[in-house]
């Protein structure tokens, strides 16, 4: 029996499909791991904020300072800095 060219293409195509599938699965696993890390940090942050409520105020002050600095550097007329004179 003579080997036809199409019989040699099938394994190559199948091999390419398996390699592509493997790459896709590795990418999906990497994305799932990254999401898991992000969720872990979010949970950690929530626990810290609930156990130390003063951190919430400190974070708000840091955000306000960031916005004031950004406004001072960029001078964006559309965004006014949030001023909080409670400190």
Rounded Cα distance between 16 and 78, Å, is 53
The whole-chain average pLDDT of the chain stands at 80
pLDDT tens digit sequence for 9-50? 556 788 899 999 999 999 999 999 999 999 999 998 888 878
Task: Tell me the residue range of the domain where 34 lies.
Answer: 1-51
Looking at the structure, tell me whether residues 7 and 47 fall in a common domain: yes
Looking at the structure, tell me whether residues 68 and 86 fall in a common domain: yes
Q: Is 70 left (phi over 0), alpha (psi -120 to 50) or beta?
A: alpha
pLDDT of residue 80: 57
Global pTM value:
0.46
49 CA to centre of own chain? 21
Looking at the structure, tell me whether residues 11 and 44 fall in a common domain: yes
Looking at the structure, tell me whether residues 46 and 64 fall in a common domain: no
Looking at the structure, tell me whether residues 26 and 58 fall in a common domain: no
Structure tokens at 1: 């029996």
Rounded Cα distance between 53 and 49, Å, is 6
pLDDT of residue 13: 82
pLDDT of residue 2: 54
Give me the number of domains the chain comprises: 2
pLDDT of residue 87: 45
Looking at the structure, tell me whether residues 11 and 28 fall in a common domain: yes
Looking at the structure, tell me whether residues 35 and 4 fall in a common domain: yes
- The answer, yes or no, to whether residue 8 has pLDDT greater than 80, is no
Looking at the structure, tell me whether residues 45 and 65 fall in a common domain: no
């Amino acid at each position: 029996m003579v080997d036809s060219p199409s019989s040699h293409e099938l394994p190559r195509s199948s091999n390419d499909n398996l390699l592509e599938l493997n790459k896709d699965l590795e990418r999906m696993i990497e994305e799932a791991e990254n999401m898991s890390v992000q969720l872990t940090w979010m949970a950690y942050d929530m626990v810290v904020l609930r156990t130390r409520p003063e951190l919430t105020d400190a974070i708000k002050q840091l955000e306000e300072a960031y916005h004031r600095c950004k406004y001072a550097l960029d001078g964006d007329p559309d965004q006014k800095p949030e001023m909080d004179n409670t400190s």
